[in-house]
Amino acid sequence: MTPTLLFLRSTTIRLASILPILVLFIFTGCDKAEKVTAEAPAVEVVAITIEPQTVPAVFSFIAQIQSSHQVDVTARVNGFLDKISYSEGESVRQGQVLFQLDQKPFVAAADAAKAEMEVRKSQLWTAKASLDRVRPLAEQNAASKSDLDNAEGNYKSVEAALQQAKAKYDKALLDLSYTTIIAPFSGVAGQSLMREGSYIAAGGSSAKLTYVAKLDPAWIDFSISQNDQDRARQEVIEGKLLPPEGYHYAVELELSDYRRYPHTGKLSFHDPSYNRETGTFLVRAEIANPEAELRPGMFVKAYLKGAQRPNVMVVPQRAVQQISNGHMVWVANDKNQAEARPVAVGAWLGDDWIINEGLKAGDRVIVDGFMRLGPGMPLKVVAPEDLKPSASSQPTTAKQG
């Protein structure tokens, strides 16, 4: 027998003797793996059973505070500014003197108008006396008709001149009063745009002196986009959003330091026309401001409340995980196995999250212990009330968005 045949024969014999051992080892290993998998301990998790519920619908907007009544304080007459009589930027009372113009030329004009009026009065007295003499004589044909007409004409002319003089005097007194510029109502006054000694030209750029703004109540202005308006209208039609009765929404404010403003406002105006440049329309609310904490120009966060969302699924925010293509939650299925469920999330509601798609009534959503899970892992489901308090099981809080 050749060497090659001898080598092949010996190799075949060795493989035949080893093959049963390999088969036995493989099947024994598989049995052990299946036994380990079957005996893997269940992971203890906390789960809640979700059911449809009606929840408040809250809409948030970036808003700006406006004065409910703000006017520019302007000069009505020409003159030199003598005195600024208020503390700039501070509160003022209705009727309080803000500015004083030089009164001397206006006092002189009023005195001249008064003197002219007195002259006209004396002329009227003389004209009346002449008419009273001529009229009886004319009736007795002792004076001509022409003399009577002249006397009556002179009287009426002087009477009209007196009325003109009185009007001129009243105008002079009015101009004199305009030299004292007062606050039209109570509020806060801005800085003075002109200083003492400046010449003020009524009707010119120098006529604007400051402004006075009423603080209580305050206005809250914010804008709603066309897309948001259309989406809300469609949700109302579909029954997904229930507006408050009469659309009487309440407005709450969050200040820049995250404090909630203690008073609640109400909607008072919405612009019926969209802004062509921004695609939004203006909405205004009115709110009490007795402590003058809200000042014109301040930015705040406005929450529109009063609407409700019926038949929605809500889960704690901590149960929702963000993944590369969206969000997911872990669910305990009917076999008590872990199941990763993609979901479409909606608005935040305090420490909860509204789930628009992906969950149904009766689903058991895992809210604690999901960090150790993988698909198909066996679970030991514990209700929240049965869980022993621990640092890892304390719920985390999230700021409302």
CA distance linking residue 383 with residue 386, whole number of Å:
5
What does the pLDDT read at residue 132?
84
AA letter at 245: E
Domain 107-167, CATH homologous superfamily name and number: Helix hairpin bin (1.10.287.470)
* φ, ψ dihedrals at 361, nearest 5°: -60, 135
- Residue 26: its pLDDT value, please? 42
CA distances to 190, 235, 247, 352 from 309, rounded to whole Å, are 45, 9, 15, 14
Mean pLDDT of residues grouped by 10 in the chain (401 residues)? Answer: 44 45 42 47 88 90 94 95 93 95 96 94 90 83 82 89 94 96 94 94 92 94 90 90 90 94 92 85 94 92 93 91 90 90 87 89 89 87 67 39 33
pLDDT single digits (tens) 382-392: 887 765 554 34
Closest to 75 (Cα-Cα) out of 172, 148, 182, 149: 182
CA torsion angle 100 102 106 108 (round to 10)? 140
| Residue that is written with structure tokens 């009423």 in the block | 214
pTM exceeds cut of 0.75: no
Domain ranges of the chain: 43-55+311-393, 107-167
E strand or H helix that includes residue 145: helix 145-178
- Report the mean per-residue pLDDT for the chain: 84
Please confirm whether the linkage preceding 217 is cis (ω < 30° from 0). Answer: yes
Tell which phi-psi region holds residue 319, choosing left (phi > 0), alpha (psi between -120 and 50) or beta.
alpha
Rounded CA-CA distance 217/289 in Å is 5
208: nearest Cα among 189, 193, 190: 193
Identity at 290, one-letter amino acid code: P
d(CA 75, CA 318): 62
Q: Is the distance from CB of 343 to CB of 328 less than 8 angstroms?
A: yes
Q: Phi then psi for 286, rounded to 5 degrees?
A: -120, 135
The closest of 200, 222, 266 to 61, measured between CA atoms, is 222
Max Cα distance, the chain (Å):
187
Tell me the Cα Rg of the chain.
Answer: 45
Is domain 43-55+311-393 annotated with CATH 2.40.420.20?
yes
pLDDT, tens only, 229-285? 898 899 999 888 999 988 899 999 999 999 999 999 999 988 888 888 888 989 999
Of 353, 293, 350, give the one whose Cα is nearest residue 329. 353
| Residue 325, both tokens | 């293509």
CB 144 within 8 A of CB 193: no
Nearest to 227 by CA among 269, 284, 274, 285: 274
Alpha-carbon distance 394 to 367, whole Å? 11
Q: How many CB atoms lie within 10 A of CB 324?
A: 4
State phi, psi for 356 to the nearest 5 degrees: -80, -35
CA distances from 172 to 123, 163, 177, 199 (A): 22, 14, 9, 20
- Whether residue 112 contacts residue 175, with contact meaning beta carbons closer than 8 Å, is answered with no
